[in-house]
Structure 1
Amino acid sequence: MTETPRPLSRRMALGLLAVPALGKGAGAQSGEWPNRPVRYINPYPPGGPTDTLSRLYCARMSEVSGQQFVVENRSGSGGNVGADAIAKSTPDGYTIGLGGVASHAIAPTLYRSLPFDPEKDFTLVSGLWQLPNLLAVHLDLPARTVPELIALVKANPGKYTFGSAGSGTTLHLAGELFKQLAKVDMVHVPYRGSAPAQLDLVAGRISMMFDNIPGTLSLARQGQVRPLAVTSLARSPVAPEIPAISEFLAGFDVVSWTCVCGPAGMPAPAIARLSALTKRVLAMPELIKAYEDLGASAWWTSMEDIASYRTAQKERLAPLIRASGAQVD
């Protein structure tokens, strides 16, 4: 889930339009999936990184399959509206969509009731991408490294604040995990999206924030905030000079991850071909580069691996969600 919509650049938009004309690809033969256009539901608004990454994937899938993969944005309720649309679609392989950490690992604990069952109502086919978050601080904060930040916050319990794009997001949960592992006390300030949080960070109204890497890294490179570390287990290829929090707090790992999924009961041949085509697309150097330009890493997995990963993520994040008090009805 990428959780912080950003405008689509003109260059990226033009790139998405420059998809080669579809011909009689390997998927166009009669009877083989797909033999007609495929609808891809993105549970987030158009124009943000999730939308851009999805359209890059669908453009390449259209090329290799010989059929159009059409993105349909169905946003609302933190991704639950789109997830429900995927779950309740006809399981014939012609409606698929974007799943991920928000709908499949966080929502089961965050929401006391959901219109879908994340474990039973979906076919998880493969991972798509992982996107790390970035911890950045206000320029006047007297901490230039993670150890210095931990020492500062420990010496002043309850004084410092961290912002996020909203309660229950991976950005919020990254802060909660930081508090837990570093054994520090700081105050969460939730915002409705990253943009207002970034403004307050630059102005010094909050001490620090956890954000998806593209936007805050841009602010850091403009000298408006100080980047301290990424929240993935390893450093990001987009900014290898920035350390990972795990280098100072063992086991720290909170990323935004996504998967391609469909409703439960999809035909086995369609699942197998969707997985194979996705693997082919995610290995394309031009797609890998386009993803890295947006701070993401292409991430193919088997069905078994994405299912076990989802379960592990749900179990790992549930205690953080409960401890944070972010649960909603």
Structure 2
Amino acid sequence: MVPAISKPLLAALSVFTVATLAAPSFVSSAHAADAYPSRPIRVIVAYPTGGISDAVARALGEKLSVQMGTSVVVENKAGAGGSIGIDAVAKAAPDGYTIGFASTSPLTLNPHVGRVNYDPEHDVAPVMSVMYSPVLVVATSGFAGKAFPDLLAQAKAKPGSVRWATSGLGTVGHVMLEQVKAKSKADITLIPYKGAGQQMNDALGAQFEVMSTNASPMLTQHMQAGRLRALAVGAPKRLESLPAVPTFAELGYPKANLTSTFGIFAPGKTPPAIINRLNAELNKALGEPEVRERLLKGGEVPTGGTAAQFATAIRAESEDNARIVKEAGIKAD
């Protein structure tokens, strides 16, 4: 998660540096990459089955299987905001046969708001950014206002009357809310859930006025049916699918203009040659029309790029989140 697309994780880059300092290690790495892959690759998805993350990971896995000539098995390990899945990746053998699909939050946000069982600086290596997911603030039928300024006006006129639901404490949506509250001084009540499922059910039942949530096919369906209304979006620019909905930057809240970035990760000591091979194959898979179409239909935006670019973005995101979390006093469950 970073504004407009978010000193941990220097080691994600040091993996590349260390390998080039010692010729024997580099040669060994090169030989490993030549023989790679020789058996199935496991992709750990840090979220439940059925969601957009699961669908995208499986679409990429299908392409990788064809491109790399081996089976790609997808395994879901959900929980703790993605930290359980990332922990499994961190503890796997660094041989390229176990990789993970998750948002960057388990590396850039979760360690700042609570305890994690892995070292984000050493145990996980970024492979490639896959997509960013816009974060929307949507109104339920319980909110009579028409636009985001109406939400703030109500919160100031009747303190505590606007309830803002998030999928959990210390999530991107929670950080977004805290940024809005800090600048607007509006008295908005936080309603943290333990996941997006019950949050969506209660939104449809108007159990609160607004919620922050990632773009998804289900959210799009409810908005198209008129059950939910988008008031603002965290994204670099307005979404093509919602051209009338302003970004938080346009509304005067650039620090709340947050998205969720998702990507592929490997164990921290995975040889650079294997990471580079995976990166090349993943970029190729992401460029396939049917994969891009699946992302865009779900409201996600394909990204791609090098492992080093992803590591740099993660480092900057973590630094931003550390500051935000400290200023807002955000704590997880």
User: Which TM-score band (shorter chain)?
Assistant: 0.7 to 0.9
1:282 aligns with 2:286: yes
The whole-number CA distance in structure 1 between the counterparts of 2:80 and 2:253 is: 33
Deviation sequence 1:226-263 (CA, Å, 0-9, x none): 21121112122343343222211252421121121111
2:265 corresponds in structure 1 to 261
Residue 82 to residue 182, structure 1, CA distance change in 2 (3 Å) = same
- CA apart distance, 1:48: 1.9
Letter in 2 for 1:81: I
The whole-number CA distance in structure 1 between the counterparts of 2:86 and 2:111 is: 12
Deviation sequence 1:285-327 (CA, Å, 0-9, x none): 2211111111111111222221121122122223443455542
The whole-number CA distance in structure 2 between the counterparts of 1:275 and 1:80 is: 22
Name the stretch that deviates more: 77-86 or 115-124: 77-86
Gaps of 5+ in 2: 2-32
1:52 corresponds in structure 2 to 55
Name the stretch that deviates more: 219-228 or 199-208: 199-208
The whole-number CA distance in structure 2 between the counterparts of 1:196 and 1:219 is: 15
1:158 to 160, 163, 168: 160
Deviation sequence 1:168-198 (CA, Å, 0-9, x none): 1112222222222333220100112223323
Name the stretch that deviates more: 197-206 or 126-135: 197-206
The whole-number CA distance in structure 2 between the counterparts of 1:132 and 1:206 is: 21
CA contact (8 A) 1:124 1:262 kept: yes
Letter in 2 for 1:216: L
The whole-number CA distance in structure 2 between the counterparts of 1:175 and 1:217 is: 21
1:81 corresponds in structure 2 to 84
Q: How many residues align?
A: 300
2:117 corresponds in structure 1 to 115
1:72 corresponds in structure 2 to 75
Matched residue SS, 2:315: helix
The whole-number CA distance in structure 2 between the counterparts of 1:258 and 1:138 is: 27
Within a 5 Å distance, the mapping from 1:1-329 to structure 2 comes to 31-111=34-114, 113-214=115-216, 215-251=218-254, 252-328=256-332
Name the stretch that deviates more: 51-60 or 237-246: 237-246
Letter in 1 for 2:149: P
Matched residue SS, 1:173: helix
Letter in 2 for 1:286: E
Letter in 1 for 2:157: A
Q: Which consecutive segments of 4 or more residues in structure 1 shift more than 6 A? A: none
The whole-number CA distance in structure 1 between the counterparts of 2:152 and 2:197 is: 26
Matched residue SS, 2:249: helix
Aligned-pair identity in percent equals 29
CA contact (8 A) 2:103 2:261 kept: yes
Deviation sequence 1:135-168 (CA, Å, 0-9, x none): 1113353421223333332333332110111111
Gaps of 5+ in 1: 2-29
The whole-number CA distance in structure 1 between the counterparts of 2:206 and 2:124 is: 43
1:15 corresponds in structure 2 to none
Q: Output the aligned Cα RMSD.
A: 2.2
Residue 77 to residue 139, structure 1, CA distance change in 2 (3 Å) = closer
CA contact (8 A) 2:132 2:300 kept: yes
Matched residue SS, 2:125: strand
Letter in 2 for 1:211: T
The whole-number CA distance in structure 2 between the counterparts of 1:297 and 1:223 is: 24
CA contact (8 A) 1:136 1:216 kept: no
